[in-house]
């Protein structure tokens, strides 16, 4: 049976449109499922000491030329490193994977924040668990200038309770987790940076803040704003 030319052309056009729409919906569904994961099962407890871990560098300072090479699945290359939280240096650890659309959003936000100098004072670190070759398929991961490493042990993922990605963890200079949860936007990144730079609590510490929903955590913003106001009052009292 001979298929009319127009029918074939039209069906291809419809199929193409349907494919694009399905991809759009798939991305949206993936993002929704990632960022609405139950907060209770994601990220280390706020106020607890952050765990140190080993990783292999994949990009960023110290690895000229960037991405591929290192890692347990990526063959030789990269340098074994150890992340030790604290030591007077605030840290921002992002657990991200190149195949996760929400992670791409977070890495894009982190890249932009880095370009604008908003990460000053904190030590950013992107940690992936997927093979290094996957990084090539994601533009934000290829373009990042931030230190990028591959997790070397499942124990690290368990210690940080990385049950879903993206997971952003703010660690203060004393090595204490100050905020943890999913994040995708620039505002989230700013909030986490602020959390990591807060001074060590005087006994009481910050209110427990863990597990943002939909990549945004108003509770965390409130907690940080309250802490900042308290610090400002202390400063005024000291100055006056």
Residue closer to other proteins (CB basis): 9 or 45:
9
Instruction: Supply the minimum distance, in Å, between the C-beta of residue 94 and other proteins.
Output: 20
The kind and range of the H/E element at 226 are helix 218-239
For other proteins, the closer of residues 93 and 179 by Cβ is 179
Among 7, 64, 82, 202, binds other proteins (CB under 8 A): 7
Helix axes 101-115, 5-35, angle to 10 degrees: 70
- The nearest distance, CB 157 to other proteins, in angstroms, is 28
Interstrand relation of 122-128 and 90-95 (parallel, antiparallel or unpaired): parallel
Q: What residues contact 1, with CB distance under 8 A and at least 6 apart?
A: none
Contacts (CB under 8 A) with other proteins, residues 24-43: 24-25, 28-29, 31-32
> Smallest gap, in angstroms, from Cβ of residue 87 to other proteins?
34
Under 8 Å between Cβ of 128 and 58: yes
Would residue 46 be called left, alpha or beta, if left means φ above 0 and alpha means ψ between -120 and 50 degrees? Answer: beta
**Nearest distance from C-beta of residue 34 to other proteins, angstroms:** 12
CB of 104 to other proteins, least distance (A): 16
Q: Which stretch binds other proteins (CB under 8 A): 17-25, 80-88, 167-175, 232-240?
A: 17-25
Name the nearest CA neighbour of 141 among 79, 94, 71, 92.
94
Is residue 154 classed exposed, middle or buried when 0-12, 13-18 and 19+ CB atoms within 10 A define those classes?
Answer: exposed
Q: Decide if residue 222 touches other proteins (CB under 8 A).
A: no
Cis-peptide into 108, omega within 30 deg: no
- Binding residue count for other proteins, defined by CB under 8 A: 26
Residue 198 to residue 163: CA distance in whole angstroms? 26
Kindly tell me which of 20 and 40 has the beta carbon lying closer to other proteins.
Answer: 20
Residues 173-212 that bind other proteins (CB under 8 A): 185, 187
Per CB under 8 A, 11 contacts other proteins: yes
Query: In a 10 Å sphere around its CB, with 0-12 CB exposed, 13-18 middle and 19+ buried, how is residue 111 labelled?
Result: buried
Determine, following the binding rule CB under 8 A, whether residue 13 of this chain makes contact with other proteins: yes
> Among residues 123, 142, 190, 216, which is the contact residue for other proteins, using CB under 8 A?
216
**Of the two residues 13 and 45, which places its CB atom closer to other proteins in the complex?**
13
Distance CA 85, CA 174 (A): 8
Smallest separation, CB 219 to other proteins (Å) = 11
**Which residues contribute to the site for other proteins (CB under 8 A)?**
4-7, 9-14, 16-18, 21-22, 24-25, 28-29, 31-32, 185, 187, 214, 216, 218
């Amino acid at each position: 049976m001979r298929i009319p030319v127009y029918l074939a052309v039209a069906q291809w056009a419809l199929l193409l449109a349907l494919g694009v729409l399905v991809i759009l919906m798939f991305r949206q569904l993936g993002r929704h499922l990632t960022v609405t994961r139950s907060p209770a099962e994601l990220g280390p407890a706020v106020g607890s000491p952050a765990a140190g871990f080993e990783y292999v560098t994949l990009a960023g300072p110290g690895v000229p030329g960037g991405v591929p090479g290192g890692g347990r699945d990526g063959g030789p290359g990269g340098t074994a490193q150890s992340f030790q939280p604290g030591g007077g240096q605030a840290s921002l650890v992002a657990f991200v994977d190149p195949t996760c659309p929400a992670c791409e959003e977070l890495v894009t936000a982190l890249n932009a924040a880095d370009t604008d100098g908003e990460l000053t004072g904190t030590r950013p670190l992107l940690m992936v668990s997927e093979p290094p070759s996957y990084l090539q398929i994601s533009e934000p991961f290829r373009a990042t200038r931030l230190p990028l490493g591959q997790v070397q042990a499942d124990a690290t993922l368990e210690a940080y309770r990385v049950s879903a990605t993206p997971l952003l963890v703010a660690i203060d200079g004393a090595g204490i987790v100050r905020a943890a949860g999913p994040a995708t936007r620039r505002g989230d990144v700013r909030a986490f940076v602020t959390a990591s730079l807060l001074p060590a609590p005087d006994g009481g510490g910050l209110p427990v803040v863990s597990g943002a929903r939909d990549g945004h955590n108003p509770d965390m913003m409130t907690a940080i704003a309250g802490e900042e106001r308290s610090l400002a009052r202390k400063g005024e009292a000291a100055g006056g």
